[in-house]
Structure 1
Amino acid sequence: MREENDHTKSQQITSVWVRDPRIQKNDFWHAYIDYEICLHTDSVCFTKKTSSVRRRYSEFVWLRQKLQANSLLRVRLPELPPKNPFFSLNNARQIGDRMKGLQKFLEQILQSPLLLSDSCLHLFLQSQLSVAKMEACAAGRTHYSVAQAVERCGLRRFHSVEDLQKDLSMSCDSDSDSSECRDPEHKIKDLGINKSKSSALLDLMGTSQEETLSCSSGST
């Protein structure tokens, strides 16, 4: 029976791609490039079998540091593409080389059973939480678990239950007279969003635009 389980695990496939570099502007003077990370897997290690998030180089650096610390040096981690002091956002060759290096790094990371058990890796690959929130979630200092953070990645963000009520009312004003439109509270109940859960949801979603959970498996 154990041999059969080991064989099943060996047949599981995880594919990862780093693609679609985009320039993101913090303000007029500061900008950076982030990359889309697409994951497709049939591994039981992952909560979601397909996912897509965007990460920047500095977040890859954070991930490597966390994995190295959490593994207690029992695993020799692959290197990231080196940080180039002359890296240019307008140099397509430099961007392409970095992107290939980041993908190679993730491909090697995903071959380690020990690293696959690290919560930080799963949050990095399958949530759009910031570094600070990933650290807090992995340490159990949030109202939501790692699995919940991954599952909720891609949900539309609402600032409050009242905002959701307003959105539902506006969408139902003119074109529909169904019972769901006449009773927004019923719709809210169906979606599983209520005041007893709103604090955890809002904590997860964050309050800044940077932490908006906007990933989707079909993103381009």
Structure 2
Amino acid sequence: MCLNTMEGEEFITIRVQDPRLQNEGSWTSYIDYKIFLHTNSKAFTAKTSCVRRRYREFAWLRKQLQKYAGLVPVPAMPGKAPFHIGNSEDFIEKRRQGLQQFLEQAVQNMVLLSDSQLHLFLQSQLPVEEIEACAQGRRSYTATDAILDYAISNRGWTQEETLPR
């Protein structure tokens, strides 16, 4: 996404990539995805970040955005899979594309972009319960603190293999 500003062109690049099966062979197995963000937008605390999130965390984010966005439409997400096809390569790739499209559309909407939960989701590895508590002021740290702590720890600075602009 590119935005024209007085100083030049702002950009927000989001890539959902590298799906990985976690807890393979157990009843609690799931797939998570790497979310890579690179931007020069003033809306973001860290200009580069990389986190891993699973589908149910994306679903939580969408529900939170709907709760606080008022009448602003929240982008759709890909649906849940029937159990027997949930790990097929084709399904995983379609879901990855759908999750990327969901995030790309969310950051294009200024109302959604102003939600600190979206920023914490994209730029910290906090669990969703902590994201919600922080956004509601029930933690001693701010969203900016959490994002900067994650970025400084170097965990949030993993580079993407190819970075298109």
TM category (shorter chain) comes to: 0.7 to 0.9
The aligned length equals 158
Asked if structure 2 preserves the Cα contact closer than 8 Å seen for 1:9 and 1:43, the reply is no
Structure 1: 4+ residue segments shifted above 4 A: none
Aligned equivalents of 1:216, 1:33: Cα separation in 2: 22
In the alignment, what sits opposite 1:216?
157
Cα gap change, 1:77/1:10 in structure 2, threshold over 3 Å: closer, same or farther? farther
Cα gap change, 1:90/1:145 in structure 2, threshold over 3 Å: closer, same or farther? same
Aligned equivalents of 2:84, 2:100: Cα separation in 1: 18
Extract unaligned runs of 5+ from structure 2. none
Find the residue that maps to 2:105 and give its secondary structure. helix
In the alignment, what sits opposite 2:77?
80
Pick the structure with more helix per residue.
Answer: 1
Asked if structure 2 preserves the Cα contact closer than 8 Å seen for 1:24 and 1:33, the reply is yes
Aligned equivalents of 2:36, 2:74: Cα separation in 1: 21
Find the residue that maps to 2:15 and give its secondary structure. strand
- TM-superposed deviation, 1:90: 3.7
Pick the structure with more strand per residue.
Answer: 2
Q: State, as a whole percentage, how many aligned pairs show the same letter.
A: 46
In the alignment, what sits opposite 1:21?
19
Cα gap change, 1:12/1:219 in structure 2, threshold over 3 Å: closer, same or farther? closer
Higher RCO (Cα < 8 Å, 6 or more apart): 2
Find the residue that maps to 1:51 and give its secondary structure. strand
Extract unaligned runs of 5+ from structure 1. 1-5, 157-212
Residue identity matched to 2:34: E
TM-score with structure 1 setting the length? 0.66
Question: Is residue 129 of structure 1 aligned with residue 120 of structure 2?
Answer: no
**Aligned-residue CA RMSD (Å):** 2.3
Residue identity matched to 2:127: S
Q: How does 1:47-126 map onto structure 2 within 5 Å?
A: 47-73=45-71, 75-86=72-83, 88=85, 90-126=87-123
TM-score with structure 2 setting the length? 0.87
Residue identity matched to 1:95: I
